[in-house]
Structure 1
């Protein structure tokens, strides 16, 4: 009788422990209520702030240039366009030349020269040509729209398409591409290109074709156009220069006494 009671108690004790044993052996279910809260898997601390983003870094300098240029239109600003014209005329008088019409393309001439010297560009020749073409389209479109809408009269009163300077935008666009392509090799390539672009801006004012506001804003439009083209380009970055798989390509500015300025694209298939 006592043995049967002991067995009964033991059986009841084992039955009472079954739920606890089952709970111990059952794996814990993962909490999926917040599974889509951070789908990229990047921690909040690892995300870049807006001020460190590529878009902000690419636009801050052009924005400052365009903003400052707009603030000095005509007689506005601490050192207005009228003030700059007065000082330039006092220094250079009636001196004029046409070198700025050709010098605006000069930064581009660095590219074939550096490549022929054996220095590799950031991108292969095809992608470099695509970036140049995209940059030119962005710059020409934006400058034309702003010129048409702003209707600022030129210093020589020839028309109302003064702001911003297209020559300056062209020169700084080319300088920005040279800087982006060869800055990993040497910063001096970019320094030389920007020096040429700055001389274009100076000659546009000396030749009485543009105000100070026009050339400063034009520099901003040129730099911004190049940055937007690079940020939006997705055609196989990082390939070896030389047009692998399609042949040798080149994209350079050209000038002819009879036909004026232009761009020349050549392709030599393999």
Structure 2
């Protein structure tokens, strides 16, 4: 098995590592709607930090740049035509949370809370990706622009995958694993379509995971200080968007 495929398999199975790192207690039940159950633990930082660090080191490391070039060469030899599935698959894990709930499979948090969490995650992820793209100015493999690092599509997909994992891990870990598989596939397509280097994708994955984790950790503060008047909020709607060049998320609060 080639090293590249070993790395992708490891990234796809990240939820199993998360499960061990988070050390769920008996209080974390399926019926729970209190996001406070997700407590901060330094072990939860290991995987996303390592992914981000790999990408950042790759900005200056000749060895990692060479590895990027080798992967690009191998992929380009086998490309027949581009597959634009990644433009849509990046949103699939996050949308799945709402689809599952609509289908009657309840997750950890109610509609309003999880929407606020997802919006917070996208805000953190989007601002981080935008800042790094405009700071590092790495040329894309297809030489179309100088905003390759990190991969925004991959960050978006992994943010959604971690969101799906957190909301439905107590129902079945396979929901979370499926989200990570889709996110990993999104990253692979970004490389296949010659839009990103391997280091871009790895860093994007780490940023996405970490953004969602932070969103869950700080939600109690946001809920108590920004959305403290819960009686005034009737419903929340959140929807991602992509116009071919930009991506983001919109949130609408229906107030009394």
TM-score (normalised: structure 2):
0.72
| Relative contact order, higher structure (CA 8 A, sep 6+) | 2
- Counterparts of 2:121 and 2:242, CA distance in 1: 20
Number of equivalences: 209
Note the residue ranges of structure 1 that are not aligned, 5 or more in a row: 1-52, 237-242
Aligned to 1:84: 71
Aligned to 1:58: 44
Aligned to 2:227: none
Aligned to 2:165: 179
Bigger Rg, which one: 1
Note the residue ranges of structure 2 that are not aligned, 5 or more in a row: 1-38, 225-229
The structure that is helix-richer by fraction is 2
Shift of 1:208: 0.5
| 2:179 maps to 1:193 | yes
Change (3 A) 1:262 1:159: closer
Alignment of 1:17-32 (within 5 A): none
TM-score (normalised: structure 1):
0.69
Aligned to 2:203: 217
Change (3 A) 1:221 1:102: same
After superposition, the CA RMSD in angstroms is: 2.8
- Counterparts of 1:261 and 1:218, CA distance in 2: 14
Alignment of 1:61-76 (within 5 A): 61-73=47-59, 75-76=62-63
Change (3 A) 1:85 1:75: farther
Alignment of 1:248-263 (within 5 A): 248-253=235-240, 263=249
Aligned to 1:154: 140
| 2:116 maps to 1:135 | no
How far does the alpha carbon of each residue in 1:59-84 deviate from its partner, in whole angstroms, 9 at most, with x for none? 11111111222334474239711111
